[in-house]
Every structure is written in C-alpha cells, then in structure tokens.
Amino acid sequence: MEWDYTKADEIEKNCPPKVGIMFGIKVKQVIDNRNVGDYALADRQAINWKCGNFDLDSVLLQYVSPKQGMRLLDVACGNGHHTRLYAKKIGNKGTIVGIDQSASLIQDAIKAARQEELDLRYQVAFADPLPFEDNAFDVVTCNYALYHFEDMDGALSQMVRVLAPLGRIILTGPSSLNNQEIFDFHRSIGLEVSASVGRERFELGVRRYFSQQGMTVREEHYENRIQFESEREFANYYLKTRLFTDHVDQTNHEWIMANIERLIASESGQFLILNKRITLFEISLR
C-alpha cells in the first residue's frame, strides 16, 4: 500500500477549507522507526490547530497575557511555535526560555527564531529537574506534553519551584473524552484498547496534585473539530497517534494495514470527523 507524503511545512497552505492531504511519513517508516514520535506529534498538532475550527493560539494569548518585561518558561516547547507567539507581545525587555528533551526540535526552534529575528533562549533539558533557580519566571507554560512525562508530579513540583510569587502556570492537554473517534477506528480494525492508554491521566493528575498542594485551579474545556475529506486521510492521522505507535504490536503490521484497507474500501463515511477535546488549567500562586 502506498501512502502519499506531504511535509509538515506544507500543511498550512493545503488545509483550508478542508484537510485534503496525507501526512508525514510512509506507514513502513512509522512501523520501523521508533524515533518518529517528536515529529509525529508536531505534525498532528499542526493539523489540529491549522485545520480545525478552534484557535488555541488566541486562547493561550488570553490566558498567558504576555506583557513587556515578562519572564516566561515554556516546558516541552517543541519547535518553539508558542515561544515565538509570546515573544511578539513580550518584546526584547522580557525573557522567554523554551526547553525540550528533543535536540532536533530545539534546533528547529533556534532556526525559526533566527529567521524571525527574535531574541529567544532554547536549551535541551528535561522537566524534572528544571535547570533554573527558584522564583525565576512569572509564567510557566506546558502545552500538550505533561501527560507524556513519566513523573507528572515531579514536573509540576519543578514548575512551582521556578515560579515567582503571584506567578501563574498554564497547562493544556487532552480531556478524558479526547480522540473518541480514533479509539473507535482502532477497534474497527480489530484492535483492543489497552488499559495502559489512560486518556484521563492529564486531567486527573493535574487536579490531584494541586488539590494536595492546596492551590486554586481554574479549569476550562474546549473542542476542536477536524473535518477530513476521506477516511484514508483519517487513517494517516491515526497512524501517527501514540495509540498506534506505542500500543500496537508492530510485528502484525501487514495484518493491521490490510484491515485498514478493507475499512477504507467500505466507504462507510464513519471516520471523517475528529473531535479534539481540550482541557486548559490555570494555576495561580498566591
């Protein structure tokens, strides 16, 4: 089976008014290369925000409220998209730092910042421990990454540690009902959903940690509706999800791909919509 290839940087011009593209890397490469995770996530997020009907950037700007002179840390910044967004509001008098455990994504972030002539700091680092002094930042953000951390509590405690008095933490991630259509597709091709997937991990983990710390948490919910032009495009998206890359026995890939082809050939029209359900937390230190 051949799958078309479209680079992530071509996504924006191909999206409106519908997705109308194939994704990232060929299926065999997804199966064989266990290091595709960083870029698979980046590609999915590009589709989510550029091809859906929800503008996460605007919501983040509202909550972060970047101002001249602000000190901001973006944990798991990826290719630096959000740090560049904040920088245009904060200006050169502030401090914006992005960290990520992926050296390749940090290189992408540095390159993009230079192209836009933005004064940003990036470094390869883990969230626990954060390589910064106590009270170093006014705002700490972490978008669509916290639930991937092995020790969420450790990462959250580090965010609190580096936050200045009256500072704020902004976290985004999937709600417990996120990607229901992806899970339905997974079952439709004959696969079971492992109990270890744990879609509720982000919400429950954040609520529990800050409740134990006696901190006030504001919680908001949003939905991003993505319209695919075909079920084949939906299948391409599915193949780059962690449900597939992390929870499927890759030795059975020929059987899996045959089942996907049969489902696509049926033209049921069942898998054309994906609802990304988003939870945003704002935590303020008093």
Structure tokens at 183: 């899970």
pTM across the whole model: 0.82
| pLDDT, tens digit, 9 for 90 and up, residues 232-264 | 989 989 988 888 888 888 788 889 999 999 999
For every residue of 45-79, DSSP letters joined together read: HHHHHHHBS--HHHHHHHHH---TT-EEEEET-TT
User: In this structure, which amino acid lies at residue 169?
Assistant: I
The answer, yes or no, to whether residue 30 has pLDDT greater than 70, is no
| pLDDT, tens digit, 9 for 90 and up, residues 187-233 | 999 998 876 667 899 999 999 999 999 998 999 999 999 988 889 98
| Distance spanning both ends of the chain, measured CA to CA | 57
3-class DSSP state for residue 111?
A: helix
